């Protein structure tokens, strides 16, 4: 930036003694103004001249209230990651660039969820999805944005700033930045991330992802404060022996900790703090911040993908699978994308999704709309019926409407190379097209006495006891297991076991090495359901649920609440209990505060038909 008063002679920073370029407005190490540019000799004790105040922008949020900068109490979500931070005593020189980029990325990630108090007053001040998308090229293959102002509208008393908590000390150790003093004063509500192919980077067969540029943006409400924070980070890196290279581009001051076109960099300007995988990626976004070149929000595919998002969403994401594959395939590949056939990408080339608060908590949903008829069979069905055979305190449960048809659909859409010719054939010894497999199926993770881990139990609907016997025989034959009759809680059952031979050295007297029998599963049939448990305890527990002596999952109020809120017509439904997870954890910090202080359960719902593939994650919360 040319002020017209810059001296051509180099000077030194009064704060840290760093040699300053005549064109530099600020010290790249400590962030202080360059006295040669400011026209003031800071070393003499004269008052330094402040950098120009950022021009007021009608799209920027209003000034912060006095309570915004108050300290946030330790706890909340931050407690999830509480505990000692392991760092090397000395910096690992061969990874200096990676270390500093990781540290800067941590600042950005934290910035995505900070300033919970700020949301409340700025609810109408953030940019829209389209406006944030204009900062990324039209060729962008992945995009995400967060409107932290809109995220204030929740009824669960959740303040994402609590995620900092004990991590503030780790952040300061890694970057030299104090969260409250160095980050909070400038970080604004708008955050965006994008990945896009680079125009001047050659695709490489060994690492095609290197041809993608990645940029993260965090809104800066105070450019001077942001520059000071970056200067402090640079000073920290200098103390660690890292060389920081400064450059400028169209109103942005950028810093790199390596050399060459592949060096990552970070910087600020024009109301934004930017982190980029390399200079070309940074320049592409800066050009669009300054209003030039094509942008993602001009693309019809992007507009279509986000056209039906609910009005109350606060997060948006977008992915263009077709363009991503075309970008990642080396240009020398025969016929480009045509040389790789992935029916799923040809049918569902683009997806859009969102984050929003819901009556039960938070919802995240992504939708792939079909551009041609994929001929998906009817894969929906009863995905929750097996809950009657699952204990009420189960850690997790998942059900599929029609196991065989879902497997067939995946094989047809993703190809044999990705899924195998018939995954069920190798797993159960039965083809996906076999009537025995064309049934609802489920799985549960159960807590059982005497084990510290959750035990997996499989449920498969069967038309009769004869069908169950046939399926068990196929499973045993496929794995070379031995089937032995037994009894579980008064029910006829089958023990499946394998026999292994001790591979140690035989005894000196030539005594034969004895074989060892290992029980791998216990199977029994109840209520037209084949139950396959990993051991006798798990099988007995399920049998007791079937007999009514142990309460089942359908009696769990949280489970019922989450199912009621989930989308209908599901092909797959999954459920995870927060209480169940807590019971398996060996530490108490993360189970008494943080996310677990608000979390009840999570459900995942997959809806798949000829018009769309839609995945929904519902997080059940309480205040």
Whole-prediction pTM: 0.74
Name the E strands within 207-271.
Answer: 212-220, 245-249, 252-256, 265-269
Residue 500: what pLDDT? Answer: 63
CA pair distance 51, 40, nearest whole angstrom:
12
CA pair distance 558, 8, nearest whole angstrom:
70
C-alpha triplet 191, 217, 305: angle, nearest 5°: 60
Residue 199: what pLDDT? Answer: 80
H helix or E strand, kind and range, residue 426: helix 423-428
Residue 529: what pLDDT? Answer: 97
Beta-bridge partners for 187: 220
Beta-bridge partners for 459: 442, 531
Domain layout of the chain by residue ranges: 11-85+96-292, 385-502+512-619
Contact assessment for residue 440 and residue 382, using Cβ atoms and an 8 Å cutoff: yes
Q: Which of 162, 173, 184 is nearest to 74 (CA)?
A: 162
Residue 112: what pLDDT? Answer: 34
Q: Which of 514, 476, 480, 478 is nearest to 495 (CA)?
A: 476
Residue 275: what pLDDT? Answer: 95
Regions of the chain with pLDDT less than 50: 1-8, 25-26, 28-31, 38-127, 203-206, 336-338, 588-591
Residue 595: what pLDDT? Answer: 59
Residue 499: what pLDDT? Answer: 75
DSSP helix/strand/coil, 95:
helix
CA dihedral angle for residue 262, residue 264, residue 270, residue 272, rounded to 10 degrees: 140
Residue 594: what pLDDT? Answer: 55
* 17-73 pLDDT, tens digit each: 656 655 554 454 444 556 565 444 333 333 333 333 333 333 333 333 332 233 333
Residue 180: what pLDDT? Answer: 84
Residue 292: what pLDDT? Answer: 84
Long-range contacts of 10-14, Cβ-Cβ distance < 8 Å, separation of 24 or more: 10/36, 11/35, 11/36, 12/43, 14/42, 14/43
């Amino acid at each position: 930036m040319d002020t017209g008063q810059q001296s051509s002679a180099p000077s030194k920073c009064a704060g840290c003694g760093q040699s300053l370029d005549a064109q530099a407005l600020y010290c790249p190490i400590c962030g202080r103004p360059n006295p040669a540019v400011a026209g003031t000799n800071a070393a003499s004790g004269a008052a330094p001249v402040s950098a120009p105040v950022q021009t007021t922008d009608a799209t920027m949020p209003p000034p912060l209230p006095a309570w915004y900068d108050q300290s946030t109490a330790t706890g909340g979500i931050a407690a999830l990651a509480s505990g000692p931070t392991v760092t090397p005593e000395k910096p690992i020189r061969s990874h200096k660039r990676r270390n500093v980029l990781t540290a800067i990325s941590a600042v950005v990630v934290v910035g995505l969820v900070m300033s919970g108090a700020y949301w409340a007053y700025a609810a109408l001040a953030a940019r829209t999805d389209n406006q944030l998308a204009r900062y990324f090229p039209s060729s962008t293959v992945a995009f995400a944005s967060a409107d932290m102002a809109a995220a204030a509208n929740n009824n669960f008393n959740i303040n994402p700033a609590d995620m900092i908590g004990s991590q503030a000390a780790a952040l300061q150790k890694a970057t030299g930045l104090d969260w409250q003093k160095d980050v909070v004063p400038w970080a604004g509500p708008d955050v965006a991330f994008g990945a896009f192919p680079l125009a001047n980077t050659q695709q490489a067969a060994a690492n095609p992802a290197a041809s993608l540029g990645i940029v993260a943006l965090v809104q800066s409400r105070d450019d001077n404060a942001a520059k000071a924070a970056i200067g402090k980070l640079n000073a920290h890196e200098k103390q660690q022996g890292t060389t920081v290279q400064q450059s400028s581009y169209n109103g942005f001051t950028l810093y790199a900790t390596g050399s060459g076109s592949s060096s990552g960099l970070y910087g600020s300007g024009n109301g934004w703090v930017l982190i980029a995988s390399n200079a070309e990626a940074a320049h592409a976004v800066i050009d669009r911040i300054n209003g030039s070149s094509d942008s993602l929000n001009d693309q019809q595919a992007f507009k279509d993908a986000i056209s039906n998002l609910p009005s109350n969403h606060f997060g948006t994401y977008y992915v263009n699978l077709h363009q991503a594959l075309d970008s990642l395939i080396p240009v020398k590949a025969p016929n480009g994308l045509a040389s790789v056939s992935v029916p799923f990408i040809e049918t569902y080339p683009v997806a859009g999704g969102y984050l929003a608060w819901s009556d039960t908590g938070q919802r995240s949903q992504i939708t792939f709309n079909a551009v041609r008829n994929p001929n998906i069979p009817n894969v929906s069905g009863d995905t929750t019926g097996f809950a009657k055979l699952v204990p009420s305190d189960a850690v997790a449960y998942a059900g599929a409407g029609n196991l065989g048809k879902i497997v067939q659909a995946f094989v047809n859409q993703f190809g044999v190379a990705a899924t195998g010719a018939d995954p069920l054939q190798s797993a159960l010894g039965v083809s996906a097209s076999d009537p025995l497999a064309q049934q609802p199926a489920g799985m549960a993770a159960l807590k059982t006495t005497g084990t510290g881990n959750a035990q997996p139990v499989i449920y498969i609907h069967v038309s009769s006891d004869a069908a169950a016997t046939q399926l068990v025989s196929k499973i045993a034959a496929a794995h070379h297991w031995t089937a032995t009759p037994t009894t579980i809680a008064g029910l006829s059952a089958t023990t499946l076991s394998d026999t292994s031979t001790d591979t140690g050295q035989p005894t000196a007297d030539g005594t034969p090495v004895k074989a060892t029998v290992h029980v791998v599963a216990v199977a029994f049939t109840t209520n037209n359901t084949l139950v396959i448990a990993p051991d006798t305890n798990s099988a007995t527990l399920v049998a007791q649920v079937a007999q009514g002596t142990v309460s089942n999952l359908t009696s769990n109020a949280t489970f019922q609440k989450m199912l009621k809120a989930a989308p209908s017509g599901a092909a797959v439904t999954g459920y995870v209990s927060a209480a169940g997870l807590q019971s398996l954890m060996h530490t108490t910090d993360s189970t008494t505060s943080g996310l677990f202080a608000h979390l009840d359960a999570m459900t995942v719902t997959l809806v798949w038909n000829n018009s769309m593939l839609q995945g929904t994650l519902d997080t059940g919360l309480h205040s």
